Amino acid sequence: MIGLPSMHVAKMTKPKHPFIHDLSIQGCLLRTSLWLAIIWHGTIIRTLSAESPSAISWTFETLPEAVCKHNKELAAAHWVIESAKARSQQAGKLANPRASTTSGINTITSENMQGFSLQQSFPITARLRLEKKVASLDIQQAEKEVQWMAHQKVMEAMEAATRWLALRERQQILKEQITLAQELYATLKEQQERGERSQLDLSLADMQIKGLELKQPALKSSIHSLENEMRSLVGQQAEEPFRLEATWKPMAIPSASPLDTANHPAFGVLHTEASIHHAMVALEQSR
């Protein structure tokens, strides 16, 4: 709140020294000016901070890493896996020991009895070890599934980026076609004014321009839809500007190398699932 000088206090208190009274009024005015300056400075800072953020630029090389780091679904899956790891550390442990005390009073003789016992149960089978193994394999399977989901998200982002780039090139070509069609229309109009062309040729050229212009809204809508799709994949807000820097590269034919099934996420999920089934069979046999 801004501290203003109280006028009724000034009227009630009649200072004997006018110089001191003037200094108090000047001090109040100085404090008021200082508060107004602080409020104005804070308003300017809030206005500058509310400006639109700068566009984040992505490329074909940085897009996969951005999807793996900033995708909200992948982040949620990683948090679930971390919580499962924390819970698995408590699984398969021995039960808490039981402590009991006994006491007895002999009313005939002076001999009394007091006892303390500690009971701990130990399994004679490998059930606990197998349960921990099953829990560990479940976590490994979840990690493989997240890797496979990340692989799919990256492929979706790369496909959307390729389509976005193709539509941007198509939009540029469409603008050039409209420019050429307008130049053709202007040339035909000059020839028609000289009597060298008929009105039908001029109408056909005008229809061609309108047909090309009708393709622009659908093309712009498709580009905007792909931008929203890529925003969701990289974890950007809808109001944040999107920018992708990429150029067409010559198509490279992949070599006929054998498929590496050990490092592929989809095959990793299948291998881990098979290991879980083997561990479950061993667990049932131990019970």
Whole-angstrom CA distances from 200 to 5, 16, 204, 207 are 84, 101, 6, 10
Separation between Cα atoms, residue 113 and residue 103, nearest integer Å: 5
Q: Does pLDDT of 42 surpass 70?
A: no
Tokens found for residue 130? 């197998």
Residue 166 has pLDDT above 80, yes or no: yes
pTM of the shown model:
0.57
Q: What six digits make up the tokens of 262?
A: 């050990």
- Residue 179: closest CA among 137, 143, 216, 153: 216
CATH superfamily of the domain spanning 56-94+126-247+259-286? Outer membrane efflux proteins (OEP) (1.20.1600.10)
Q: DSSP secondary structure string, 100-163?
A: EEEEE--SSSS--EEEEEEE----SSSHHHHHHHHHHHHHHHHHHHHHHHHHHHHHHHHHHHHH
- Give me 86's structure tokens: 């924390």
- For the chain, which residues make up each domain, given as ranges? 56-94+126-247+259-286
pLDDT digit string, tens, across residues 61-103: 788 888 888 888 888 888 888 888 877 776 666 678 888 888 8
Residue 139: name the closest of 1, 287, 273, 284 by CA.
273
Lowest-confidence pick of 82-96, 126-140, 178-192, 273-287: 273-287
pLDDT at residue 22 tops 80: no
**Which of 213, 214, 204, 170 shows the shortest CA–CA distance to 184?**
204
What are the beta bridge partners of residue 284?
none
Smallest CA-to-CA distance from 191 within 201, 177, 182, 206 is with: 201
Dump pLDDT digits (tens) for 117-147.
888 776 666 777 777 778 788 888 888 888 8
- In a 10 Å sphere around its CB, with 0-12 CB exposed, 13-18 middle and 19+ buried, how is residue 134 labelled? buried
